[in-house]
Amino acid sequence: MLHIGVGSKNPAKIEAVRSAFAEMGFEAEVIGLDVESQVSEQPFSDEETIQGAINRANNVMFAEKESHFFDYCIGLEGGVIESPFGMFLCNWGVVVDKEGNVGIGGGLRVQLPEEIANHLRMGKELGDIIDDFTGKHNVKKKEGTIGILTNQLITRKDMFRDVTISAFARFLNPQLYEEN
């Protein structure tokens, strides 16, 4: 049985990790901890979003350092990127193990409607904007912006499940990632 720590209390993220490990064929206990991402509430680049995911994963590992409870700690972070083609949602995941090995995987990119992008440029958080936009509550803990924009064909949980599996590739195939 694997013990997995996730750096968030967001059920969309925790459920995503559960389904990723089930899909990879592991029996796993997945626990969410509230930790800091140490980046902006709304990351605005791939780099900042990856850094947020790294910090979350490390902070979960650090929180449990004494007990060595977790085999793997996972950080999942959502952000946006500006590009010459408009603004896109981006998502990143990071897995760290007890030895300090790090696996990183990224998720789908979805073009954001210009009205939503403009609110983001004015400094609002996507979680709040999408709730206003849809008249729903806590979209970020449910289908997510990606679920709204794809008519639920791809939900935030689905997307983070794939991100988790991608970030775990390094641990599925450690021999391919050996550096020498």
Ligand X SMILES: O=P(O)(O)OP(=O)(O)OP(=O)(O)OC[C@H]1O[C@@H](n2cnc3c(O)ncnc32)[C@H](O)[C@@H]1O
Rule CB under 6 A: which residues touch ligand X?
8-10, 13, 41-42, 77-78, 89, 125-127, 130, 139-140, 144-146, 156
Q: Minimal distance in Å, beta carbon 174 to ligand X?
A: 27
| Shortest spacing between CB 170 and ligand X, in angstroms | 21
128, 140 in Cβ contact below 8 A? Answer: no
Sequence-separated (6 or more) residues with CB below 8 Å from residue 90:
46, 49, 78, 79, 80, 81, 106, 107, 109
Nearer to ligand X, 9 or 68 (CB): 9
Distance CA 128, CA 120 (A): 10
Strand partners, 178: none
- Taking the complex as a whole, how short is the minimal distance between the CB of residue 51 and ligand X, in angstroms? 12
Measured from the CB atom, the residue of 1 and 153 that comes closer to ligand X is 153
Are 126 and 78 in contact, with CB atoms under 8 Å apart?
yes
Q: Which is nearer to ligand X, 62 or 177 (CB)?
A: 62
What is the residue whose two structure tokens read 């391919």?
176
Taking the complex as a whole, how short is the minimal distance between the CB of residue 149 and ligand X, in angstroms?
9
**66 labeled binding residue:** yes
125 labelled binding-site residue: no
Q: Which is nearer to ligand X, 47 or 174 (CB)?
A: 47
Cα separation, 32 vs 15, whole angstroms: 10
CB of 135 vs ligand X, minimal distance in Å: 14
Looking at the Cβ atoms of 11 and 174, the one nearer to ligand X is 11
| 3 state SS of 15 | helix
Name 92's bridge partners: 77, 106
Q: Which residue is nearest to ligand X (CB)?
A: 127
Annotated binding site for Mg(2+): 36, 66
Annotated binding site: 36, 66
